[in-house]
Structures are given as C-alpha cells and as structure tokens.
Amino acid sequence: MPEFCEVERDGHVLTVTIARPEVMNAIHPPTSAELARAFDEFAADPELWVAIVTGKGDKAFSAGNDLKYQAKGGKLSWPASGFGGLTARFDLAKPLIAAVNGLAMGGGFEIVLSCDIVVAAETAVFALPEPRVGLAALAGGMQRLPRQIPLKHAMGMLLTGRRVTAEEGMRFGFVNEVVPAGQALAGARRWADAILECSPVSVRTSKAVALQSLAYPSLQEALAARYDATVELVRSEDYVEGPRAFAEKRKPNWKNR
C-alpha cells in the first residue's frame, strides 16, 4: 500500500489523493514515486477512463516541492514522468481532472497545469513562488502557464510569485469551475461523470488531436496533419455504436476499443 498517497477506484474513475497533510501535501521523491506508479497503473488499465487528483484535507492541494526535506539534505530525484508523476507525462491519452481543495503552490500548481480540467474550491490559491526563494518553476510552470493563459497574466505570476485566487484563475483561464469550499472533489466527479457519458475512444482522440495540433504554426497545417488517434477512432467499435444508438434512440454501449 502506498504511504504518501491514497488511491481509490470507483467504476471507471480513479481518484488519487496526495496524502501528506501534515506538510500541506508537499511532495518529496518518495511521494513522487508513489504517484508515478498510481498514474502508470491508470494509464495501463483499460477499465479506468478518467482520473482525478486532489490533496488530503481542506488546506492544501499541494504546497509543491518539500523544501524542508531538501534543506535537510534529502536527495532530489524525480521519476521519468516528472514531478508528482505527472509534469512530464506527455503520453497520457486519458483525461485528468484536478480537484484543487486548497493551496496549490510551486510544483503543486505545476501538477494542476498538467491536468486537462481544473475544479477549484473558492478557497483555493495558486502561485509559482520559486523566484522568492532563488528557484524557478522547473517542472513545466514556465512553459505551461504562458500556453494556457494570456502572456501578461502569466508573466505577472511568474515574475512576482504572487498568489492568485480561484476566481482570478477562472478569469485568467486555467480554472474551469469554482465551487464552494469542501466541494472540489464532488465538482471534479461531476465533470468525470460527464466525460463517462462519452465514448472513451472519442475522448482520447479529442484530447490527443487537440494537444498535438498545437505544434503546428497554422490552422491549415493542423487540419491537414495526420493523427494516429483519429485512425484508431475510425476503426473502433464505438465509431459504429454511437450513430447506431442515436438512430435507435437508446443509450450507447461503449466498448472502449
């Protein structure tokens, strides 16, 4: 059993909880290793279609890198999939939802930015404060934030380390929904249930094509590109089942293949 995270399976949904509330769910290498294993298993299991990541307690999603562990001489090493097992996981085809229950700082915010959908409690706070302690957001924050929100907002956060509320995060564009305090996980589950109504292969295709198309400098090139995920979709059983169910006025029986 993992020591620093909790993993719960409910149907097609996997919920992974960072479980170090005594240190605001700060992440040290053993935590990252456990999270990496959890998301490896999620990626490999065909019966798991959506994952939610959250933090234990009501104060913090994650305070990021455990600086006290580092200051005491703890060796820093991260899995190939990145900080928290997510920030360098570029091949995850399935949707990932962040349920931000509180503080999301530094590496904790970088994990949030690695997710596809973000549900934040109204008490959530986001920041990349690394410059305030002579560091930098090396787990993708400097690259992801300017790609997800307007550049001036991104630079305002990156160059000052200032804290941004959940409402500001929604205005900036990196938060999908703000919910009452204590409701982040429930809100994330509503999003997960909405995803589960869709064909899993269609969802995977949509995520893959949307992200891969960003590599092309023009819309024309992106539209003309060939995407392996689209080929998989056209060959899938769901590609036939969806229109058939619509015509027969019944709920689709998705096969995930």
**Residues with a known catalytic role:** 110, 130
Cβ(86)–Cβ(114) under 8 Å?
yes
Let me know: does 58 contact 101? Beta carbons within 8 Å: yes
Find out whether 83 and 31 touch, Cβ atoms under 8 Å.
Answer: no
User: CA 143 to CA 146: how far, in whole Å?
Assistant: 6
Kind and range of the H or E element at 176?
none
C-alpha triplet 87, 147, 126: angle, nearest 5°: 65
Instruction: Identify whether the C-beta of residue 209 lies closer than 8 Å to the C-beta of residue 229.
Output: yes
User: Which letter does DSSP use for residue 77 in this model?
Assistant: -
Measured distance CA(75)–CA(96) in Å, rounded: 29
